[in-house]
Amino acid sequence: MSSLNSKFSQNISIVHPEFFFIVGLSGLQYSRYYYIFLFMIYFITVIGNSIVLLIIALERSLHSPKYIGVFNLALADIGETNALIPNMMKNFLFDSQYISYNACLANMFFVFLFSSIQSVTLVVLSYDRFIAICLPLRYHALVNNTSMFLIFLAVWAFNSSVMGLMVSLITPLSLCKSNVIQSYFCDHGPVFRLACNDNSINVNIAFLVSALYLVAPLIIIFLSYMGICLALIKITTWQGRLKALKTCFSHLFLVGIYFLPMCCSYIAALLGSLTPNARVISTSLAYVVPPMLNPIIYVLKTAEIKDIIQKVFKNKSAPIRENISK
């Protein structure tokens, strides 16, 4: 009976603030201009990724396993940008820095979900390149539209479950230290550190999420490219090697612009070498710049998409030239 009473008293003592106050950039005179800059990035990101989605959806020649991955990446880019930047605009440009408890948890879930989808999509695309170069004769047997669709369905289900677990483990915490979140959105670490009761499970899941979506993808991508390098050595001519390697350039660019800023900001945070404002700027740029650059890289570095865009512009310019000649 006494144990039941103690459990009941523990449940009663759990404190959930009605609202959180998100700090963002503090003490900077021209911080509004930074948020306007982020809104410009948001605009470019949504337009660029929407164009990529539209091209892949409408062009039948792009209905292939590789472009199912690119479509998924563009979808995650739009999702993450919409989960992050509009809330930042509302909070910091319109002086509405308060967010309700439930809205905060929803914001946390979607930002981390879409970011994790980006990370795993880059791993799946590296798998696609690995099979294409190392096992070209078995490519269509191992990698096809159906298998790629099922892979991404499993990725969305698994990542949703992991992020749902991470967010749900916030609810047993008594967040009574403060209602001030030292970040620019409802970030997981700054929220669970507000707890007065034991948050060790939250610390552990934070390390698990970092390992699953930052460390493990980098290791898998590195190993896949090690295999690709070994396969390239077996190709006798430099022209053949370069032709095979060219198909990986766009993916390597995407890996670099996603993981490098994210790793740098994580390492700097762990070392404690960043001021709060520097952390906000570095992590926000690490989140919002890759989704903006991804469609640009695919347009510039992928011959198929570039050819389709050139054809569209040629078809549109042809009637104009005819009218001028008349």
**1 domain residue, yes or no:** no
- CA-based angle 245:287:128, to the nearest 5? 30
pLDDT digits (tens, 9 = 90+) for 291-312: 999 888 876 667 677 777 777 7
Which residue range(s) make up the domain with 101?
19-309
**3 domain residue, yes or no:** no
**145 domain residue, yes or no:** yes
The Cα-based distances of 326 to 270, 317, 320 in angstroms read 68, 15, 10
Alpha-helix runs per DSSP H in 179-302: 188-192, 200-210, 216-234, 238-271, 276-301
**57 domain residue, yes or no:** yes
Q: At 126, is the secondary structure helix, strand, or coil?
A: helix
Q: Nearest-CA neighbor of 252 among 124, 72, 114, 126?
A: 126
Instruction: Round to whole Å and give the CA distance between 83 and 89.
Output: 11
**Assigned token pair, 198:** 């034991």
**143 domain residue, yes or no:** yes
Please report, for the domain that includes residue 217, its CATH number: 1.20.1070.10
**243 domain residue, yes or no:** yes
Phi, psi of 20 (to 5 degrees): -110, 150
The model's confidence at residue 32, banded by pLDDT at 50, 70 and 90, is: confident
pLDDT digits (tens, 9 = 90+) for 40-96: 999 999 999 999 899 889 888 888 898 999 999 999 999 999 999 998 888 887 778
**12 domain residue, yes or no:** no
Instruction: Round to whole Å and give the CA distance between 229 and 305.
Output: 26
**6 domain residue, yes or no:** no
How many domains in the chain?
1
pTM: 0.88
